[in-house]
Amino acid sequence: MKFFVDTADVAAIAELNDLGMVDGVTTNPSLILKSGRDILEVTREICGIVSGPVSAEVVAMDAQSMIAEGRKLAAIAPNIAVKVPLTWDGLKACKVLTGDGFMVNVTLCFSANQALLAAKAGATFISPFIGRLDDINLDGMELIGDIRTIYDNYDFRTQILAASIRSANHMKDAALMGADVATAPPAVIKAMANHVLTDKGLEQFNADWAKTGQKIL
């Protein structure tokens, strides 16, 4: 499973990229707001750090404006994936932008039917929102499984990009369900390394090492 990092924090992206933990980046208007930077400037900088897809989201509501915004965003760098919402206008924009040869990430997916439409429209990525479904007592991982089955039934090439990831368990479950990609905040990706037994083991090793009175350096 590929790891995308869900942030516009350039320093956090660079740190994870140096460790080989970044296959791409996803941004959205909320993350751009949090960064406090110009969307074109920060997106261009991110594209210079990572070689994989960098999702940049349109903000228009109608198809023609989405297409115009998408083309402007795609001009930033060759690895831009234009992010459009899963609305009827968003699907129209997806069809045109993929026809232009651009990568398109169709976001805010909450049903298997929506994912099927996105694949038919030629989406490069479909982004089902796991955490937001869990918030309303629906099983986000069940949606990942349903999309995986449908896409495999018909050999759709659209990649399943599990989004709205809230925990390390979400990352594990997305991998088990066969998601092609999971996008998560830097803190969640780092949390995957944590385990109470690892901490306990290190504590014991360090205590025993101190008793030896030895040094390596």
Residue 150 is assigned to a structural domain of this protein: yes
Spell out the per-residue pLDDT of the chain, length 217, in tens. 999 999 999 999 999 999 999 999 999 999 999 999 999 999 999 999 999 999 999 999 999 999 999 999 999 999 999 999 999 999 999 999 999 999 999 999 999 999 999 999 999 999 999 999 999 999 999 999 999 999 999 999 999 999 999 999 999 999 999 999 999 999 999 999 999 999 999 999 999 999 999 999 9
pLDDT of residue 132: 97
Report how many domains make up the chain: 1
Known catalytic membership, residue 200: no
Residue 204 is assigned to a structural domain of this protein: no
**What CATH number is associated with residue 99?**
3.20.20.70
Residue 213 is assigned to a structural domain of this protein: no
Global pTM reads: 0.96
Q: Provide DSSP, 106-144.
A: EEEE-SHHHHHHHHHTT-SEEEEBHHHHHHTT--HHHHH
Residue 211 is assigned to a structural domain of this protein: no
pLDDT of residue 163: 98
Residue 157 is assigned to a structural domain of this protein: yes
Residue 203 is assigned to a structural domain of this protein: no
pLDDT of residue 120: 98
Residue 31: give the domain boundaries: 2-192
From 2, 72, 83, 200, the catalytic residue: 83
Alpha-carbon gap, residue 20 to 6, rounded angstroms: 15
Q: Return the axis-axis angle of helices 88-99 and 63-74, rounded to nearest 10°.
A: 40
Residue 162 is assigned to a structural domain of this protein: yes
